[in-house]
Chain A
Amino acid sequence: MEDKIQIEIVEEIDTSKVYDELSHRNSGGICVFVGAVREFTDNEEVVALEFETYQGMALKEMEKIAKEAFDRWQLNQVVMRHAVGKKGIEEPVVVVGASSPHRDACFEACRYLIDTLKERVPIWKKEIFKNRSVWVSAHP
């Protein structure tokens, strides 16, 4: 299973290597989601996003999610990679992807990977605006 799953927390995301990581002789479909920094949140201009993580637990939780995806869909490779530190507009902050014999499985798995990562993985995002900053989702 280990060579089928790539899990990482990194300073910088290199989106160019994900194709090679997911490519597989039995995969006819490769689906990738990249999350990036958007310029506006509710009409307020974002200067940067800052990410912090509880790394040991985050890696463990990401691995569980990847394994759950393997249990649910017929997959060949899975990648889950999240960035930490300060990221500017348009910079990638997360990349997840899956490859599978047919496209339905990798589309569904890819959505599961990112949605579940957002629900469970201990990573925190601070939105930095011009005059203030906010921990996202902290308050109702």
Chain B
Amino acid sequence: MEVLLFGIAKDIVGKSSLRFHEGERLPESVLELKKKLKGTFPEFDRLTSLAVAVNSEYATDNKRLNKGDEIAIIPPVSGG
């Protein structure tokens, strides 16, 4: 499972994507992914907001994650 990172999320993790390896327990929901991320990188807790997109749509915390999904971390957006 690969998680795409953008903006400040990329800076916090230090790369443009995070890969969960075979054998590693994969987060089953958006909420679990956020908790795992905040556990490993406490800086995520300091952001104004943290959203997750699944297959290029904003996803709610209870959304289930599947292996083939395209998952992205969406830190506070600031276009325009």
Contacts and interface: CB of A to CB of B under 8 A. Distances in A.
Interface of A is mostly: mixed
A35 B80 CA distance: 6
B76 A138 contact: yes
Interface string A27-40: 00000000100000
Interface residues of A, number: 29
Contacts of A117: 79-80
Q: How large is the interface on B (under 10, 10 to 19, 20 to 34, 35 or more residues)?
A: 20 to 34
Contacts, number: 79
B79 A54 contact: no
A139 B46 contact: yes
B78 A135 contact: yes
A94 B46 contact: no
Interface of A: 35, 51-54, 56-58, 60, 82, 93-94, 114, 117-126, 135-140
